Structure 1
Amino acid sequence: MFSRFLVQSSKLIYSNTKQIQRRFVMASSKLKLSEVEGDLFSAPEEYSLAHCVGADFAMGAGIAVKFRQTYGQVEELLAQKISSGGVAVLKDKNRFIYYLVTKPASYGSPTYDSLRSSLSQMKEHMKLNKVQKLAIPRIGCGIDGLEWDKVSAELHTVFGDEEVEIVVYVFVPK
Structure 2
Amino acid sequence: MSDKTQLANGNWRLNYTTGDLFSCPTDETLAHCISEDCRMGAGIAVMFKRRFSGVEELKGQKKLVGQCAVLKRGQRFVYYLITKKKVSQKPTYDNLRRSLEDMREHCIKNGVTRISMPRIGCGLDRLKWERVSEILEETFAATDISITIYSLPVKTETLVMKENTSR
TM class by shorter-chain length? 0.7 to 0.9
Compute the TM-score of the two structures, normalised by the length of structure 2.
0.85
Residue 164 of structure 1: how far off its partner (Å): 1.1
Structure 2: unaligned runs, 5 residues or longer: 1-9, 156-167
Q: Name the residue aligned to 1:45.
A: 26
Correspondence for 1:31 among 9, 12, 29? 12
Secondary structure of 1:102's aligned partner: strand
Structure 1: unaligned runs, 5 residues or longer: 1-28
Secondary structure of 2:124's aligned partner: helix
Matched, 1:150 2:131: yes
Could you tell me which amino acid in structure 2 is paired with residue 111 of structure 1? T
Q: Distance in 1 between matches of 2:89 and 2:145?
A: 30
What is the 5 A alignment of 1:41-120? 41-120=22-101
Query: Structure 1 vs Structure 2: percent identity of aligned residues?
Result: 46
Q: Distance in 2 between matches of 1:75 and 1:150?
A: 32
Matched, 1:126 2:107: yes
Residue 172 of structure 1: how far off its partner (Å): 2.1
Quote the RMSD (CA, aligned, Å): 0.9
Q: Which has the higher strand share?
A: 1
Q: Distance in 2 between matches of 1:46 and 1:32?
A: 18
Could you tell me which amino acid in structure 2 is paired with residue 171 of structure 1? L
1:102-122 deviation per Cα after TM superposition (whole angstroms, max 9, x unaligned):
000111110000000000000
Correspondence for 1:138 among 96, 116, 119? 119
Correspondence for 2:141 among 136, 149, 160? 160
Residue 58 of structure 1: how far off its partner (Å): 0.5
Q: Distance in 1 between matches of 2:85 and 2:148?
A: 27
Compute the TM-score of the two structures, normalised by the length of structure 1.
0.82
Q: Distance in 2 between matches of 1:98 and 1:150?
A: 21
Q: Distance in 2 between matches of 1:71 and 1:105?
A: 21
